[in-house]
């Protein structure tokens, strides 16, 4: 009987599919320092982003034949090393793209009407200073007709572009690998249209966008730093639902304080799970604790996809 440890949990649908296929699935979370011992009783492990599967651990559990990552980023797994030892490593890259893209717009709608600040102030001052707050939060803007800049035009970048297009926005996109093609948009009643796109340079995106959203993988160097903020339109809104490290947080705070950037929406941070207080407490930053993929729909898709990858692997 094949045993899988779902150490960071798995959606119930994924567990059910695996059990129906005859697998044993344990969902208790074993602490990192006890994993080497615990994993001796399993054939495979699934993780999200919390559990780390580094070389040393992989070496201690040669019985593990498969590592499954529910989601996209595999920064927590020494993927190449695991594969060199004959361990299959699988993930579910597309399952959460739409959820992350929608979170970008949660941050954008928040920022353009100052919700990040009014949600903090109204519970404290709403009953005594209602009219003053009403005045403070006037001057919002609309998204329709504005230009959405997208940096990193892969799965999530393209889903973000599709949501922007549905809202009547213009899209400017940059990717390390220039691309040209069409984006399919489907509306009520199954009506479908293909919108042509062609990526442009990073400078064009930075200089001409009203809002900028990052969708690149983790990088050693930030993509948006002081020089890039300086080239942006005054009053731009910036969203990061990709990975901490892609924005220089100190430069972002300076740009928010100077008014160059009107607001930021952050789902990811330099120092997770303990982001800097200057970021957490900033009145112009809308915050979410790395929940881009954390919708019921995305988790169901992730669980279903992961289960079928595991079944396929062990039944080969």
Peptide bond into 194 cis (omega under 30): no
- Number of residues that make up the chain: 316
Q: Which of 243, 249, 282, 301 is catalytic?
A: 243
Do the Cβ atoms of 44 and 67 come closer than 8 Å? yes
Q: Which of 19, 272, 297, 312 is catalytic?
A: 272
> Site residues for ligand NAD, window 156-215 (CB under 6 A)?
156-157, 174-177, 215
CB atoms within 10 A of CB 206: 23
Binding mask 19-38 for ligand NAD (x = CB under 6 A): --------------------
Angle at the Cα of 95 from the Cα atoms of 91 and 97, rounded to 5 degrees: 115
Q: Which of 113, 125, 204, 290 is catalytic?
A: 290
306 contacts ligand NAD (rule: CB under 6 A): no
Residue 214 CB, shortest distance to ligand NAD, in Å, is 8
CB neighbour list of residue 274: distance below 8 Å, 6 or more residues apart? none
Do the Cβ atoms of 72 and 32 come closer than 8 Å? no
Residue in this structure with the two tokens 């009203």, named with its chain if needed: 210
CA 249 – CA 234 distance, rounded (Å) = 18
CA 176 – CA 153 distance, rounded (Å) = 8
243 contacts ligand NAD (rule: CB under 6 A): yes
Residue 104 CB, shortest distance to ligand NAD, in Å, is 9
Q: Which is nearer to ligand NAD, 30 or 93 (CB)?
A: 93
* Orientation of helix 97-112 relative to helix 155-166, angle to 10°: 50
223 contacts ligand NAD (rule: CB under 6 A): yes
Name the helix (H) or strand (E) containing 239: strand 236-240
227 contacts ligand NAD (rule: CB under 6 A): no
Measured from each CB, the residue nearest to ligand NAD is 154
Residue 202 CB, shortest distance to ligand NAD, in Å, is 7
77 contacts ligand NAD (rule: CB under 6 A): no
Residue 272 falls in the annotated catalytic set: yes
Residue 290 falls in the annotated catalytic set: yes
| Binding positions for ligand NAD, rule: CB under 6 A | 71-73, 93, 96-97, 100, 151-157, 174-177, 215-219, 223, 241-243, 267-268, 290, 292-293
Catalytically active residues are 243, 272, 290
């Amino acid at each position: 009987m094949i045993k899988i440890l779902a150490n960071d949990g798995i959606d119930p649908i994924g567990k059910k599919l695996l059990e129906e296929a005859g697998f044993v699935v344990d969902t208790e979370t074993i602490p990192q320092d006890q994993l080497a011992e615990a994993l001796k009783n399993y054939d495979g492990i699934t993780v999200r982003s919390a559990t780390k599967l580094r070389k040393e651990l992989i070496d201690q559990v040669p019985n593990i034949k498969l590592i499954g990552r529910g989601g996209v980023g595999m920064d927590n797994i020494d993927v190449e090393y695991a594969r060199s030892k004959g361990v299959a490593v699988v993930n579910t890259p597309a399952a959460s793209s739409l959820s992350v893209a929608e979170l970008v717009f949660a941050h954008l709608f928040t920022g353009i009407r100052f919700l990040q600040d009014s949600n903090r102030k109204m519970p404290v001052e709403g009953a005594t200073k209602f009219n003053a707050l009403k005045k403070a939060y006037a001057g919002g803007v609309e998204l329709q007709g504005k230009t959405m800049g997208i940096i990193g035009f892969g799965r999530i970048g393209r889903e973000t572009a599709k949501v922007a297009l549905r809202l009547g926005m213009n899209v400017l996109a940059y990717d390390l690998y220039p691309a040209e093609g069409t984006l399919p948009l489907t509306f009520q009643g199954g009506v479908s249209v293909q919108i042509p796109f062609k990526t442009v340079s990073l400078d064009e995106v930075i200089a001409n966008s009203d809002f900028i959203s990052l969708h690149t993988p983790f990088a050693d160097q930030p993509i948006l730093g002081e020089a890039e903020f300086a080239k942006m339109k005054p009053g731009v809104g910036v969203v990061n639902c990709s990975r901490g490290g892609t924005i220089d947080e100190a430069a972002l705070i300076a740009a928010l304080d100077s008014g160059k950037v009107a607001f930021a929406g952050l789902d990811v941070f330099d120092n997770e799970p303990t982001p800097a207080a200057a970021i957490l407490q900033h009145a112009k930053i809308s915050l979410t604790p790395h929940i881009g993929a954390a919708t019921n729909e995305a988790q169901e898709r992730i669980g279903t996809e992961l289960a079928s990858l595991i079944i396929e692997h062990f039944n080969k």
